[in-house]
Amino acid sequence: MAKHKPTLALITGATSGIGLAIAELLASEGVSLVLCGRRQDRLNALRTKLSDQVPVHTCNFDVRDAQAVQAAIDSLPAAFCHIDVLVNNAGNAHGLAPVEQADIADWDAMIDINVKGLLYVSKAVMPLMLAQQRGHIVNIGSIAGKEVYPNGSVYCASKFAVDALTQGMRMDLFKQGIRVSAVNPGLVETEFSLVRFKGDATRAKQVYQGINPLVAEDIADTVWYVITRPPHVNIAEMLVLPSDQAASTLVNRR
Ligand code: NDP
Ligand code: 8X3
């Protein structure tokens, strides 16, 4: 069966972790890239590195800012408008605390970035896909969107929302040639825990202590599988865990 070969992908959260690994893998496979994030120095370095392999355009916006998102998509150079893959990856957990003690600013960040940000980017990119009656949206969800764990209620709620949005977007878009998929990772060692624990590297390291966690490249590999299926195949969702993890809170530490 002939594989599908994507030509141009837009990746949010490309400056770190899973998004960065997806960018590097897609560049190595010859897929042109629109790379998004807020850290301009990292975007610049990435463009310099990957431009040897494929055309790269970078966009600096906060996914919480709907106007900035729309302006960035509206000002894409013509050569970067035919987006056939959107990876909605930007997101993080902020804090890990019982609901009665958690910080409202952390709640706002998670809902605004993980849920509303994903919607804003999709809203701006969908017209480009609809115009060509072709496209693939891959939402990076989480095991946290499948199982709630203590102290993670709002992060889990944001990822449950991503799960619901993936299903709803698929229902609304499938007749128009747009596939919608979710890739739901378990524990992946990235900057994720450093962000969650507000720069506390010791606490972040403890999350992965004694286990062999996933690395960002494992998820990039999964996304590549999802977006290269033949046009009649849509992988609705994939849950990808480290072998040392059986459920959100069931981890085999040695
Ligand atoms: P990282 O912290 O390494 O990367 C997060 C990325 O998101 C960065 O590139 C960051 O870029 C971007 N980002 C964060 N906030 C914003 C914002 N407001 N506007 C624009 N971009 C933003 O974490 P991961 O790579 O691990 O996380 C990527 C995705 O994977 C997230 O959706 C996360 O929930 C999900 N995930 C992660 C798991 C893990 O264990 N690591 C497991 C399951 C899912 P910048 O700061 O430059 O804007
Ligand atoms: C990230 C995985 O278990 O830390 O979504 O929430 S977990």
pLDDT in tens, 124-133: 999 999 999 9
Residues 6+ apart with CB under 8 A from 102: 95, 153, 154
**26 three-class SS:** helix
* Residue to substitute in 192, 197, 208, 241 for testing ligand 1 pocket (most ligand atoms within 8 angstroms of CB): 192
Please, are residues 31 and 56 in contact by the beta-carbon 8 Å criterion? no
Q: Would residue 155 show up in a list of annotated catalytic residues for this protein?
A: yes
Residue closest via CA to ligand 2's atom 5 equals: 142
Q: What b/e sequence results for 12-32 when a residue is b if at least 16 CB atoms lie within 10 Å of its CB, and e otherwise?
A: bbbbbbbbbbbbbbbbeeebb
Atom of ligand 1 nearest to the CA of 162: 32
Ligand nearest to the CA of 93: 1
Nearest to 90 by CA among 23, 8, 187: 23
CA distance 110 to 219: 21
- In the beta sheet, which residues pair with residue 103? none
Q: Give the model confidence (pLDDT) of 146-204 as tens digits.
A: 999 999 999 999 999 999 999 999 999 999 999 999 999 999 999 999 999 999 999 99
pLDDT, tens digit only, all 254 positions of the chain: 778 899 999 999 999 999 999 999 999 999 999 999 999 999 999 999 999 999 999 999 999 999 999 999 999 999 999 999 999 999 999 999 999 999 999 999 999 999 999 999 999 999 999 999 999 999 999 999 999 999 999 999 999 999 999 999 999 999 999 999 999 999 999 999 999 999 999 999 999 999 999 999 999 999 999 999 999 999 999 999 999 999 999 999 99
Minimal-distance CA residue to ligand 1 atom 17: 62
Q: Where are the domains of the chain?
A: 8-251
Task: Give the C-alpha separation, 76 to 110, whole Å.
Answer: 27
Q: Which CATH number fits domain 8-251: 3.30.2020.30, 3.30.420.40, 1.50.10.100, 3.40.50.720?
A: 3.40.50.720
